[in-house]
Amino acid sequence: MDKREFSRRDLLRAGLAGAAAATAPASALASTETAASAAPQASSVAAMQARRPFETLSAAEADTLEAIVARLIPTDANGQGAAEAGAAHYIDRALGGALASSRQTYGAGLAAVESYARASKGAPFVSLSPADQDAILTEMERNAAPGFSPNSAAFFDLLRNHTIQGMFCDPYYGGNVNFAGWDLLGYPGVRTVVSADQQRMDIAPAPNHKSAYDYDMFLKASAKTISRRGVSDGD
């Protein structure tokens, strides 16, 4: 595991999700900074970053993407949405890795969203009201927005699928910050051993806020020798 991953996970553990800090009101930000001082390794990083850095997208592309995911899974009466969960950051990181083959599609697609926003509403997508942003996304979903290649519905589907991945994936991948997605679904979390009681319909298991990679046996960099035929203790 490289150092960058480590500091990101430490941030997550300390409740210092960058995306949350970026969109949170000042009072909430102040409280996260108090928490940061209790975690000296993370504090300097948190202080430097008003926004978690993007690794692959340009600043303008990232602005548009963050605004889109915030409408696809909004923050509302049912709690945190894709913004707090860091779905845009999940996509950004994945575009430099597992989803690299989609990088060009995002460049062209986000530019087309911007062009369509300016042409139809007279302003950049990020400056539009939520209702106008929703109108544009609806047109894209209906395959009625011009300027997309091959078409707007294909790009909308890609955005929706990746936003869902970013909201509900293992937090190791940079999304689902603070388990916002898993808590929304009532998903009780990753366990390595499950009891019969945890499969009954009348009892909801308590949420288990752990990443797969919080379990030492799956850390590939671990120097620990684990017998291939041995038996796991699980959790």
Question: Residues in the site for another protein, rule: CB under 8 A?
Answer: 71-74, 76-78, 81, 98, 134, 137, 141, 160-161, 164-165, 167-170, 172-173, 181-182, 184-188, 190-194, 196, 198-205, 212-213, 215, 217-218, 220, 222, 226, 228-229, 231-232, 234
**Which of 37, 157 has the CB closer to another protein?**
157
Please give the single-letter amino acid code of residue 97.
Answer: G
**Which of 32, 192 has the CB closer to another protein?**
192
**Which of 88, 169 has the CB closer to another protein?**
169
CB of 35 to another protein, least distance (A): 26
CB of 127 to another protein, least distance (A): 20
**Which of 3, 220 has the CB closer to another protein?**
220
**Which of 43, 208 has the CB closer to another protein?**
208
**Residue that has been written with the tokens 């929703």 in this structure:** 134
CB of 133 to another protein, least distance (A): 10
For residue 120, how many other CB atoms are within 10 A of its CB? 15
**Which of 40, 197 has the CB closer to another protein?**
197
CB of 160 to another protein, least distance (A): 6
d(CA 188, CA 185): 9
CA atoms within 13 A on the CB side of 67: 23
CB of 98 to another protein, least distance (A): 5
**Which of 47, 200 has the CB closer to another protein?**
200
CB of 43 to another protein, least distance (A): 30
Hey, what's the torsion of the CAs at 52, 135, 137, 81, to 10 degrees?
40
CB of 4 to another protein, least distance (A): 19
